[in-house]
């Protein structure tokens, strides 16, 4: 009587086949996601339906947006990326960059007083390091150029920068470079 011996490959596949297929499937999903994300990078976002204004008059850029290199944070004594633009002006008044609705008004020790405004086309503007006497409340409708507060030094994570506006712009939940949407070239 002869006993058939299975090939080593069949034995290996019977033992680890499901695990191998799961790994290959997971890798395929990960590669697909990576390629989709990569294909959207660098493409300009259309702002045909929305025109932005500067959040401060006669402002200078204290610290610019940087997602490709580290900047030293003097307050925290560490190197970090900076996904916002810090602005300062002799006139500390801060304005909405576009029409929108106040999504939230909050205060915390790291960011100071913070106002988030939802705009059209998936944009959200975030104004941090505001003075405590914010001029808007959650749910308010605001127009482009409407005063929402004053820049201050309430953000302890950037307290060494003095009184300034920490301005962040999001598109569909992700930080984008405000320089691509605001006329900050001469600031």
Say what the pTM is.
0.70
* One domain, residues 27 and 66: no
DSSP string, 41-78: TTPPPP-TT-----SSTT-EEEE--EEEEEEEETTTTE
Say what the pLDDT of residue 62 is: 86
Does residue 29 belong to any structural domain of this protein? yes
Same domain, 79 and 170: yes
Tens of pLDDT along 149-164?
999 988 766 766 778 9
In a shared domain, residues 97 and 172 = yes
- Whether residues 77 and 169 share a domain: the answer is yes
The average pLDDT across 20-27 equals 64
What pLDDT is recorded for position 40?
A: 46
- Report the percent of the chain where pLDDT is more than 90: 43
Residue 52 falls inside a structural domain: no
Same domain, 76 and 117: yes
- Mean pLDDT, rounded, of the chain: 81
Q: What is the pLDDT of residue 176?
A: 94
Determine, yes or no, domain membership for 71: yes
Identify whether 121 is part of a domain: yes
Return all residues near 134 (Cβ < 8 A) that are at least 6 apart. 105, 113, 115, 148, 149
**In the structure, what pLDDT confidence band is assigned to residue 187 with cuts at 50, 70 and 90?**
very low
Give the residue numbers spanning the domain of 33: 1-43
Q: Which residue has the tokens 């002006």?
A: 89
Residue 43 has pLDDT above 50, yes or no: no
Are 67 and 177 a contacting pair, CB within 8 Å?
yes
Instruction: Using pLDDT thresholds of 50, 70 and 90, give the confidence band for residue 178.
Output: very high
Do residues 161 and 62 lie in contact, with contact meaning Cβ atoms separated by under 8 Å?
A: yes
- Number of alpha helices (DSSP H) and beta strands (DSSP E) in the chain: 1, 12
Residue 88 domain-assigned (yes or no): yes
Q: For the ranges 36-40, 72-76, 85-89, 171-175, which has the lowest average pLDDT? A: 36-40
Top-confidence residue, 69 or 142: 142
Q: What is the pLDDT of residue 72?
A: 77
Q: Is residue 187 in some structural domain?
A: no
Same domain, 96 and 147: yes
Pairing of strands 165-171, 174-176: antiparallel
Same-domain status, 31 and 120: no
Q: What's the mean pLDDT in 23-51?
A: 58
Higher pLDDT, 186 or 55: 55
Q: Are 132 and 155 in contact (CB under 8 A)?
A: no
């Amino acid at each position: 009587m002869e006993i058939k011996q299975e090939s080593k490959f069949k034995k290996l596949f019977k033992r680890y086949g499901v695990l191998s297929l799961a790994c290959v499937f997971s890798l395929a999903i990960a590669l697909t996601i990576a390629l989709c994300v990569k294909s959207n990078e660098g493409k300009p976002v259309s702002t045909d339906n929305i025109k932005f204004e500067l959040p401060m008059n006669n402002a200078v850029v204290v610290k610019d947006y940087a997602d490709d290199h580290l900047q030293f944070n003097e307050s925290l004594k560490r190197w970090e990326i900076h996904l916002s633009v810090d602005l300062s002006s002799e006139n500390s008044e801060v304005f909405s960059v576009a029409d929108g609705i106040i999504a939230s008004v909050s205060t915390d020790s790291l960011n100071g007083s913070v106002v988030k405004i939802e705009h059209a086309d998936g944009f959200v503007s975030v104004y941090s390091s505001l003075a405590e006497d914010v001029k808007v409340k959650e749910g308010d409708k605001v127009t482009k150029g409407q005063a929402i507060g004053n820049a201050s030094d309430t953000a302890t994570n950037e307290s060494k920068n003095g009184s300034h506006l920490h301005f962040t712009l999001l598109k569909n939940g992700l930080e984008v470079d405000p320089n691509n949407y605001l006329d900050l070239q001469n600031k």
